[in-house]
Amino acid sequence: MQYQCNECSATYKISALRYKCDCGSPLNLQKNASRRHERDVSIMSLWRYREALPISTGTEIITLGEGMTPLILLDSTGNSKHYVKLDYLCPTGSYKDRGASVLLTHLKALGVKEVVEDSSGNAGAAIAAYSARADIRCTIYCPESTSKGKLKQISAYGADLKLIPGNRMATTEAVKQAAENTYYASHNWHPFFLEGTKTLASEITEQLEGNVPAHVICPVGFGSIYLGLYLGFQELHEAGVIDRVPRLLGVQPETCCPIYNAYRDKTPTISRMPQTGQTLAEGITAELPIRGEMILEAIHWTNGAFTTVDDADIKAGMKTLANKGLYVEPTSAVVIKGYEKFKEAGIIRDEDVVVSILTGIGLKASSVP
């Protein structure tokens, strides 16, 4: 197995300590048709799908029991069913544990001793926790405005926390210098992170007993769930496990929605959209996603769609979910208004089965109004 560049097709060994191509573009793992999609039901974590992951036999697995989160019915009328996947119940309180477990397993096997990462909070907490588990030193860069609960959590795992003034983009700029000397365990750049998030597709398929939902809705910033779902469902389809793929529906905050803009205007590339104002959805404020080309490919390939929400929508979404016993962070709550908007637009039809991903727990964002 090798890495291959999206842009220039250069290839690299996966043992190489790199996170991007020499040309500056993101790397993907070359497709491996021989990967099996059988599960080991005795393992109650995402590692039950290990056969589909690029980790060789005998490797020490860095795990905290992530994955196998509940999939519950939120609403149903007639044949229409809206399920929510409670991925905020992963060990650090967000779905990012999926990517962190697979990425840190890979880095530990390569002998990496120290990593840096930049994050809006949840990925930082996940990388910090799994680094602690792997006995790897870790420094996390976060925007100064990150929820206090997330910052406290990152420090609690023993990571060195660097707070950067300004928006999410400023944090990305700040980590670049550190990444010149220390391995950059970036959840947005590293292809192994997506290998972890792709297990969401296997779990949804298993939990719905092979009945593929018509749509999966998720919040999208840099796209680490959206692309994970894309990879996962694509592989399951190619392996003949499922006979069709769900339409992947993304939701962005209207103050930072470069992917939505490209979708709406049908442009061939995604252009940077400087954030036009604050949003409660701190986890999905990416002015320019790194894997833009792959996101557009995922929209095209799954007949996907995008929409946007504002802060009032997010607050209403949190309330709707809390009234049903689900306490999530604002970023996760975008899926509720997103569902309504996709329904109004005729994308979700009356009889459709839909799964929305609830990405982050409410507890660490409790200071948010």
First to last CA, the chain: 47
As measured in angstroms, the least distance from the Cβ of 5 to Zn ion is 3
Residues in contact with Zn ion, shown as a per-residue x/- string from 56 to 75 under the rule CB under 5 A: --------------------
Q: In which residue are the tokens 């842009």 written?
A: 7
Q: If we measure between CA atoms, which residue out of 94, 39, 86, 46 comes closest to residue 66?
A: 46
161 binds Zn ion (CB under 5 A): no
7 binds Zn ion (CB under 5 A): yes
Pick the stretch among 4-12, 60-68, 263-271, 313-321 that binds Zn ion (CB under 5 A): 4-12
Integer Cα distance of 9 and 136 in angstroms: 32
CB 365 within 8 A of CB 321: no
Pick the stretch among 21-29, 180-188, 241-249, 298-306 that binds Zn ion (CB under 5 A): 21-29
Pick the stretch among 6-14, 172-180, 284-292, 327-335 that binds Zn ion (CB under 5 A): 6-14
336 binds Zn ion (CB under 5 A): no
Pick the stretch among 13-21, 98-106, 257-265, 279-287 that binds Zn ion (CB under 5 A): 13-21
11 binds Zn ion (CB under 5 A): no
- For residue 54 the two structure tokens come to 């690029």
Cβ closer to Zn ion: 17 or 322? 17
- For residue 88 the two structure tokens come to 């905020």
As measured in angstroms, the least distance from the Cβ of 98 to Zn ion is 26
23 binds Zn ion (CB under 5 A): yes
288 binds Zn ion (CB under 5 A): no
5 binds Zn ion (CB under 5 A): yes
- For residue 143 the two structure tokens come to 């925007």
As measured in angstroms, the least distance from the Cβ of 26 to Zn ion is 9
As measured in angstroms, the least distance from the Cβ of 213 to Zn ion is 35
Q: Which of 25, 145, 182, 278 binds Zn ion (CB under 5 A)?
A: 25
Pick the stretch among 3-11, 82-90, 295-303, 306-314 that binds Zn ion (CB under 5 A): 3-11
As measured in angstroms, the least distance from the Cβ of 269 to Zn ion is 16
Pick the stretch among 2-10, 57-65, 209-217, 343-351 that binds Zn ion (CB under 5 A): 2-10
10 binds Zn ion (CB under 5 A): yes
As measured in angstroms, the least distance from the Cβ of 9 to Zn ion is 7
Q: How far is CA 128 from CA 35, 40, 104, 153, 305, in A?
A: 30, 28, 10, 9, 33
As measured in angstroms, the least distance from the Cβ of 99 to Zn ion is 22
4 binds Zn ion (CB under 5 A): no
Cβ closer to Zn ion: 8 or 345? 8
Q: How many residues contact Zn ion, by CB under 5 A?
A: 7
Cβ closer to Zn ion: 21 or 353? 21
Write out the residues near Zn ion by the rule CB under 5 A.
Answer: 5, 7-8, 10, 21, 23, 25
